[in-house]
Amino acid sequence: MRRRAIARLTAVLAALALLVPVHVADAAAAPVRYEAENATISQGVVESNHAGYSGSGFVNGTNATGSYVEWTVNAASAGSTTLAIRYANGTTTNRPMDVTVNGATVSAGRAFAGTGAWTTWATSSLTAALNAGANTVRLTATTANGGPNLDYLDVDAGGTPNPGTPVEANGQLKVCGTKLCNQHGNPIQLRGMSSHGLQWYYQCLNTGSLNALAQDWKADVLRISMYIQEDGYETNPRLFTDRVHNLIEQATSRGMYAIVDWHMLSPGDPNYNLSRAKTFFTEIAQRHNGKNNLLYEIANEPNGVSWAKIKSYAENLIPVIRQNDPDTPILVGTRAWSSLGVSDGATENEIVNSPVNASNIMYTFHFYAASHGSEYLSTLSRAADRLPIFVTEFGTQTSSGDGGNNFTRSQQYLDLMAAKKISWTNWNYSDDERSGAVFKEGTCPNGPWTGTAPLKPAGVWVRERTMTPDDFPAG
């Protein structure tokens, strides 16, 4: 009797369910696509002679300043959304465009770098605020070369709540297997910038520049690079420790993660500075152990020293940190300028076969794309499948941080790091005269900081890749 009653009740509920609309609140709606060939076009034509496009064709704009494509985009409600622009640029020259929404510039001189061929399509994404109802989104060429070929504009239709700042979205980080994971145990990738030495370019890290890093660049992480020698920490430990304290608080207030970088470089044996490191990290860990947005990088670029000595250094320092801070991930430098040994002819095998005896740690890898080619790229790819890796420093130029930019090789590295969720910080957020400093000389300390006008070519390139929307999975 009881069984039959339950069966009848189940049947009634099932029938009622057919009458009630089902809402899946947590499912993200697919983006709405606006094809370029259906947009308003000024100084351009619709073509279909390069494969790989969506819809019935793409827009080939006239090579002229001021040529544009404009879409009318409808939004159900006002709010922030993601605009994804699919394009191809078969030249080696950047073809920048201003992106405006309802007449207001949301990205000035946005870079559309070469994609390698006119049949190779890429996507450039940015965040913009839309009004409820109809909106105009216009892309306008800013140089005589015109813009790239434009395929479509995808507009996020909503369904995924704004996660807030990177720290609000991810909370306390931890190492899980070979990945950096968030508070929900999901692998994530952090992207951001490294400062230059605090003894030289502290003036580049002020309210305006850090606001720009967090809000305009939408960076997840700031690497605070405190040199030990070269007129750094050893000359005035109190001054430089206080500068690090300040920058930790600045990053925290903006919802960014902060890497505390013990920037030892010369001498290359980290044991030379072991006593200093114990003093410094004890104070840092004691003061900030209640924060959930830190990572400790305990040896920037060991060089001229064996892996055994680097490992010994780490195993002497890590317990000192853990006495005061049991939770913050620790990043360990690797042999030969943090190249996993490849710069000395070694491989990641020496670490795999003799890892540091500690938990919640990662190993660092550094590269400079104009100097470090396929051997380094292959090493990073292999190592990331065997070890937890964080790229705490890289540049698009030579290993001196200067010279010409190799954006093609750099993009290969970034594609690999995105695919394997390897976090990174780029060198460097200053106005140093070298090509690797993102700001033009004379920008610090007064700016301007936002947009592309104050940036060198490397700055334009890395800003665009830093501000691409994050994929931070929730629990």
Cβ atoms of 448 and 466 within 8 Å: the answer is no
Cβ 154 vs Cβ 31: under 8 Å: yes
Task: Give Cβ neighbours of residue 240 (< 8 Å, ≥ 6 apart).
Answer: 198, 199, 226, 232, 233
Q: Bridge partners of 294?
A: 258
Measure the CA–CA gap between 340 and 355, rounded to whole angstroms.
Answer: 12
Q: In whole angstroms, give the CA distance from residue 125 to residue 246.
A: 32
Q: Can you tell me whether residue 43 is helix, strand or coil?
A: coil
Is there a contact between 226 and 475 (Cβ–Cβ < 8 Å)?
A: no
Considering 348, 350, 393, 464, which one is annotated as catalytic? 393
Length of the chain: 475
Q: Rounded to whole angstroms, how far apart are CA atoms 344 and 123?
A: 37
Q: What is the DSSP letter of 455?
A: B
Q: Which of 297, 301, 350, 464 is catalytic?
A: 301
- Which segments of 174-324 does DSSP mark as H helices, in order? 198-201, 207-211, 237-253, 274-288, 307-322
Q: Please list, in sequence order, all residues whose beta carbon lies within 8 angstroms of the beta carbon of residue 125, skipping any fewer than 6 positions away.
A: 82, 83, 84, 85, 468, 469
Contact partners, residue 56, CB within 8 Å, separation at least 6: 35, 37, 46, 48
**393 is a catalytic site residue:** yes
For the question of residue 35 being annotated catalytic, the response is no
The token duo for 36 is 């370029």
What does the alpha-carbon distance between residue 50 and residue 52 come to, in Å, rounded to a whole number?
Answer: 7
> Smallest Cα–Cα separation from 333: which of 353, 293, 304, 371?
304
CA dihedral (284, 287, 293, 297) in degrees, to 10, reads 10
194 with 429: CB under 8 angstroms? Answer: yes
Both tokens assigned to 53: 């496009």
Catalytic positions, written as ranges? 301, 393
